[in-house]
């Protein structure tokens, strides 16, 4: 693909609550994927949703950064009639809870961009491939140790499960130029070479058997409890420690542990530390989520509940603190947390037999159970910024001590345009408090 540059559309100034923070907002030129004709005759065009994750590392060009596309265009079967003109009974064989993949050959891809004085330049695309060199798909996995969803094409015909398929979400780049990716289907984490070849996929213990036919090595190295993720609420946030020896990853939401009610009502989610050399989880912390009623823009039309709040990305600050992106849709908040010190979640809570489960504990019960949640420091609340909010901000690339880039997921065109925001703070992000 030819390099593309688009002009800066807007420069936003923060309001009095954050008077010294500036935000440059660029609307990114779409990378067109073409037009799909559905069984009904309805036509729809799609473009690459580049903003499921973002990252930058010191070895890169100072203005360059990476972003990540997820599994490809997909439509909920329950929305089939609204989008395609035919109901889920026709488009999805009656499976209301499944997905339509209008472009099943789409390959998840890492993209490298550079922020220029006059816009954004796309430098290169790095499609994900298996050990055979063949492109990886975004089609759902044949899982038995946890729930999955069937995939259907634009013609309404079911697409076979793919043990290699990935729903890529969070992104981090290592000092050697390789990548680490958070993935939702498993949920799992991936190690990917600098040229896009999947080196390893680490899944919850017991799931490796389900994925025996994958075109890359699969290791059951994560706690089995992670398989209790709510469907489509897997691992969205990943960040490497400053020395590159450990990967921190966050669940997007509370686990459905022991059931969906625990996910819906839960107000805490888990953050894990994965030792790369030892290929094992060595730490676990509890992250307290904000009260959903405080997300002003998202509550303007509809009252929000706990299940609407999610963590969509992590980024690592030079001092070892984690920057956490917590959001609903329109309102986005950035928090600092410090995982330094011993883990605060006792190992017994990784045992599915433990009752009550970690997700069932209320704030007042945690201390009795020996659990101390992480302490959050608010760095940014998008509701305090001037201008119309950008929906579904999911990627963070820390570009310098006081500057970061954020990018939204436009759902391959179904959610509108892709925006990149460059935020400049008056002091180092490590010290900034809202």
C-beta of residue 180 within 8 angstroms of C-beta of residue 172:
yes
The pLDDT of residue 14 is above 60 = no
Listed by start position, the domains of the chain span: 5-424
Handedness of CA 79, 81, 84, 90 (dihedral sign): positive
Nearest of 91, 111, 94 to residue 102 by alpha carbon: 91
Task: Give, in words, the CATH class of 5-424.
Answer: mainly beta
Which whole number is the average pLDDT over 111-125?
Answer: 93
Q: How confident is the model at residue 129 (pLDDT cuts 50, 70, 90)?
A: very high
Enter the pTM of the model: 0.95
Chain centroid, CA 308 distance in Å: 15
Distance CA 245, CA 247 (A): 7
Which whole number is the average pLDDT over 408-427?
Answer: 95
Give percent of the chain with pLDDT exceeding 90.
90
At residue 250, the pLDDT reads 98
| pLDDT tens digits along 282-323 | 999 999 999 999 999 999 999 999 999 999 999 999 999 999
Q: What angle do CA 227, 101, 68 make, to 5 degrees?
A: 65
C-beta of residue 262 within 8 angstroms of C-beta of residue 256:
yes
| pLDDT tens digits along 72-91 | 999 999 999 999 999 999 99
């Amino acid at each position: 693909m030819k390099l593309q540059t688009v002009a800066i559309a807007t420069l936003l100034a923060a309001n009095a609550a954050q008077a010294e923070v500036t935000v440059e907002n660029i609307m990114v030129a779409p990378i067109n994927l073409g037009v799909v004709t559905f069984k009904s005759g309805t036509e729809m065009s799609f473009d690459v949703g580049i903003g499921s994750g973002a990252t930058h590392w010191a070895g890169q060009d100072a203005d360059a950064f990476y972003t990540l596309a997820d599994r490809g265009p997909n439509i909920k079967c329950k929305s089939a009639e609204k989008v395609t003109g035919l109901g889920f009974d026709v488009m999805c064989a009656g499976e209301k809870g499944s997905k339509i993949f209008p472009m099943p050959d789409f390959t998840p891809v890492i993209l490298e961009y550079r922020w220029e004085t006059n816009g954004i330049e796309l430098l290169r695309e790095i499609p994900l491939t298996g050990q055979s060199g063949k492109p990886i798909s975004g089609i759902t996995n044949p899982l038995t140790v946890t729930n999955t969803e069937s995939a259907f094409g634009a013609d309404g015909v079911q697409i076979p499960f793919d043990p290699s398929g990935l729903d890529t979400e969070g992104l981090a780049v290592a000092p050697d130029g390789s990548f680490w990716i958070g993935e939702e289907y498993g949920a799992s984490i991936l190690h990917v070479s600098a040229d896009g070849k999947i080196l390893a996929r680490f899944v919850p213990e017991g799931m490796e058997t389900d994925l025996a036919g994958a075109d890359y090595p699969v290791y059951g190295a994560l706690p089995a409890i992670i398989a209790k993720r709510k469907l489509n609420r897997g691992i969205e946030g990943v960040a490497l420690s400053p020395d590159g020896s450990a990967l921190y990853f966050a669940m997007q939401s509370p686990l459905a542990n022991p059931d969906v009610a625990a996910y819906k009502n839960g107000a805490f989610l888990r953050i894990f530390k994965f030792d790369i050399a030892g290929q094992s989880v060595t730490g676990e912390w509890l992250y307290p989520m904000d009260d959903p009623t405080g997300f002003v823009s998202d509550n303007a039309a509809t009252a929000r509940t706990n299940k609407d709040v999610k963590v969509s990305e992590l980024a690592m600050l030079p001092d070892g603190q984690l920057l956490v992106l917590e959001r609903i849709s329109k309102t986005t908040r950035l928090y600092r947390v410090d995982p330094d010190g011993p883990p605060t979640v006792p190992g017994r809570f990784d045992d599915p037999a433990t009752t009550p489960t970690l997700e069932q504990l209320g704030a007042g019960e945690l201390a009795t159970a020996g659990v101390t949640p992480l302490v959050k420091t608010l760095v940014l609340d998008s509701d305090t910024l001037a201008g119309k909010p950008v929906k579904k901000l999911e990627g963070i690339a820390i570009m310098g001590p006081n500057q970061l880039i954020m990018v939204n997921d436009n759902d391959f065109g179904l959610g509108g345009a892709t925006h990149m925001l460059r935020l400049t703070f008056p002091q180092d992000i490590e010290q900034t408090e809202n």
